[in-house]
Structure formats: structure tokens, C-alpha cells
Amino acid sequence: MNKLKWRRTWFQVHKWVGLLLVALIIPISLTGAALVWHDALDRVVNPVRYAVSGQTLLPLDRYVAAARARMAPGDRVANLVLPEEGHGPVTVTVAGAPKPGARPQPGPPPRTMIFLDPPSARVLDVASNRGGLVRTLHVLHGSLMVPGVGRSIVGWIGVAMMLSSFTGLWLWWPTVGRWARGLRWKRHRNTDTNLHYLTGFWVALPLFVLSLTGAWISFPAFFGALVGEGGRGPGGPGGGRAAMMRARPLDRPALPLAQVVARAKPLGLEARLRTIVWPTDLKSDWTVSYDTQPMRTVTVADDSGVAAPERARGGSGVARWMRRIHDGTDMGWLWQAIIFAGGVIPALLGVTGVIMWWRARGWKADLARRQGARRSTVAAE
């Protein structure tokens, strides 16, 4: 196949990937751009939970007691999260009592989050972990709000966007002259076409990386096997992950909270305490996490009180890096800005691509009419 035929083939692939998936690519891209600034966005839409009176911390039992006062019968404390870098509320997550006869729903079980003022343990806000604008953006971005298969659909869209990035860069490359000609603004008489060419070139590589990491997150078992890491799918090392997510926290653990913190502290390397996860009916250990990168965790056995370091949450392998690259966590403002652009520009490319396709249909139909009229005139003569 010669160069011209390859170009025509890639054009068809690029065109139909964009046209068929544009309605799905736009919401995934725009929600991804918004979620880069997740914490700032949450502060804007939920100001009441960040209206703290200071950052002085009380004994942790005070926060648990304040949360218990707002819990319904049968609820149990699941974890406690301290403010990151000393800013924001203390958060206690509560697992509700299972409803008799209720069918298990896909995804993490519903939880209630209680936000507390650090210096006073006053309740600032109570919210479901499945509600609110920011949570909706997460669900839309991760599964298009489709239960069950939504995550896989998003993963395949990521694969299609990788293909679109590659074919778009191929089509951007000028057919005549040096490659630098492609950086010119006026490659075409239409503004939307020039926008499509120029912004598409600059976003092609970041979009390919974001699409790859998004597909990796959607299909961890497949990609994990490629690099020799255990997947999280059923039957793999993480096959019990769904069961662990649905495990019930212990109502009355053997160890007091203060003793758990004291046992874990020597293994925390003097780092700031961030999260305490209660033992459950499937895992009888407390999990204490510290504000390090990657996050350092320590387990404390609820029966014996023995503390032991645990592998950093999320691991330090490829899967951990894929997620950090995708959402920009601790990657610096420059990469976060690139991710933001990598979310906004694909939406622009989708709109301009549809405009270009619609215009092409018009001039092709007009050309066909003129050619038909010319053939009729020749036949009449």
C-alpha cells in the first residue's frame, strides 16, 4: 500500500472514530478536565464543609464520638481522614446497616461522610459519597453513569482515542514540503479546520498518554499481565477486592483508637497521620496511613496489637504511575495544566470535526450535481 492509500485509510479511520464516538468523548474529556482541580472544585461547590475555625486537632476519639452522635442505628465507623497538609475538615466515613433483601449494587457500597471542624469537632456537613456534583463528575468520567459495563465502555473509548491520536498526527503531517509547514495557522480557508489541525497537533501526544492511562485503569488485569503485575480482575490476585469493599467494619474493635495510633506511630517515620481504616469482618487489622509519597501504611492487628509496615497503597509499580499520570496527583501544576488542556481540546476537536464532515458532505453533493448536469449536457449533444 502506497503513501496515498495509507493516508486515505487513516482518514476514514480517524473520521469514523470521531463521528461515532463524539457524543461520548466530549463528556469524558470535559469531566476529566474538571476533575484535575478536584479539591478546588469541591471547595467551590461545598463551601460549608470547608468552613473550619482552625486546624488545631483534638484527640481522635472526640471526632468519632461526634460522628456517632449523627449516625443512625446499625451504622458503623469505617474510617477517619485528617486534613491534608493541615487544611480542611476532619472526615469520618460511616457504613450504613445493610437493608434486608436488598440486592448488591455494582461499584463501592454507599457510605455517609461526616465533615467535622478540627478544633471543636462540630459537624459541618453530612453527605452521601454517591451524591454531589464532584461525585457525579467522577462517575460520568469513569463509567458514563452506566452500571456494570460502563467502565469497560470508557476503556474501549480510550483505546479508540489512542487510535484517533495516532491517525490524526499522521493526517496532520504535510504531504508537500517540510513538516514545519504543518505549524502554520492558515492551512485552510476555514477557521474551524485550522483549529482542528493546529490544536490537534499539540494535543496528540498528551491525549495518547491520557487515553492509554485511562484504558489501563479500566482494564487493570489485561495491562497488569503485560508488565508482570497482578491484575485486580476476578480470579487474579485482587479477585477479592469487591468483597473487601463490601466488608462490614467491626462495631466494637478490641483496641481503642488511641492505642492503635500509638502502636503505629513508630513505623510512620514521623510523617503526618492521614487515614485510619477500621478492621472489618474480613480483615481484622486496622490500617493506618501517613502523608508520604507514595503513601506509607501500617497495619495494627486488632487482637494482638502487633504493628507492621505494609506495602505502600497503590504500590510503586506501573499501575500506580498510570493512575498518577492520568489524574495528575502529585505531578505538579504543569502536567495538571496539560491534562486540563487534554480534556478541553478533544471536545473542541469533536465539534470542529463534525463541522468539517458536514461541510464536506455539502460540497461533495454539490460536486456530484454539477458532474451529473455536465454528463446530461454531453449526452444531449
Q: What confidence score (pLDDT) does residue 64 get?
A: 96
Q: What is the mean pLDDT of the chain?
A: 85
> How confident is the model over 170-208, as pLDDT tens digits?
888 877 667 676 677 777 778 888 888 889 889 999 999
Q: What pLDDT was estimated at residue 315? A: 45
CA 359 vs CA 25, 338, 352: distances in Å: 21, 31, 11
User: Is the pTM of the predicted complex or chain greater than 0.85?
Assistant: no
Which of 35, 204, 48 lies closest to 133, judged by CA?
35
CA torsion sign, 367 to 372 to 375 to 380? negative
With beta carbons less than 8 A apart as the criterion, state whether 27 and 144 touch. yes
List, for residues 146-166, the tens digit of each pLDDT value. 888 899 999 999 999 999 999
Sheet holding 111-116, edge to edge: 123-128, 111-116, 90-95, 76-81, 273-277, 285-290, 296-301, 307-310
Q: How many CB atoms lie within 10 A of CB 203?
A: 22
Domains of the chain: 47-131 (3.10.450), 241-316 (no CATH)
Tens-digit pLDDT profile for residues 92-131: 999 987 777 666 665 567 889 999 999 999 999 999 888 8
State pLDDT tens for residues 1-35. Answer: 677 788 888 888 898 899 999 999 999 999 999 99
- Over 90: is that where the pLDDT of 47 sits? yes
